[in-house]
Amino acid sequence: MKKLTLVSLLFLLLVACQNKGNTDDAQQSIDSSPLNVTEKETQQNEEILTSQQKEDIPPVYLDETSYTGDQLEIVKLMNARMRYLYEKDEPAYMSLIDPESPILGMGRYKVLKVTSMSDITIQEQRKLYQAVVMVNELNENDEEYSNTMVFWKKKEDGESAQWVIADID
């Protein structure tokens, strides 16, 4: 009889412990009511949408109609740079860069707009033409950066010479 009582007590103890665990689970379930879960999901969805919208904003390219000759070629190069950054096309981006440039790869940001630009100053050097442009660029985080862009066109290439990006500081 004592054995039966002892086994019964152990059984009741196990059942009681099991019920306490279920009570805790039930309490957590009540704390995470559908309203709280819905609010959290809505907030996460809004953050994802905001992030996607920022990524999906295409760049505003420089107006090429105001330029001619070498200046037009430089503006086209700047627009191509913005496009390749937006598309995350590193091989195409690197094709715009002079092989002797210190630029090793594309940045991890997108340029959405050039907010202001100085006049394009072209100087003739002994072996090349060099152009310098000061720009303010707006990136996808709405941060504005000032850069000095340097372009080269090598004389040794003759008629086939093309403008390339030499450096961006």
Question: What residue spans define the domains of the chain?
Answer: 2-55, 59-168
Topology annotation, domain 59-168: Nuclear Transport Factor 2; Chain: A, (3.10.450)
pLDDT of residue 156: 94
CA distance 103 to 169: 10
Q: Which is higher by pLDDT, 146 or 40?
A: 146
Q: Report pLDDT digits (tens) over 57-111.
A: 889 999 999 999 999 999 999 999 999 999 999 999 999 999 999 999 987 788 9
CA distance 52 to 4: 67
**pTM for the predicted model, two decimal places:** 0.67
CA distance 164 to 161: 9
The mean pLDDT of 129-153, rounded to a whole number, is 94
CA distance 38 to 129: 61
Is the pLDDT score of 55 beyond 80? no
pLDDT of residue 132: 97
pLDDT of residue 106: 85
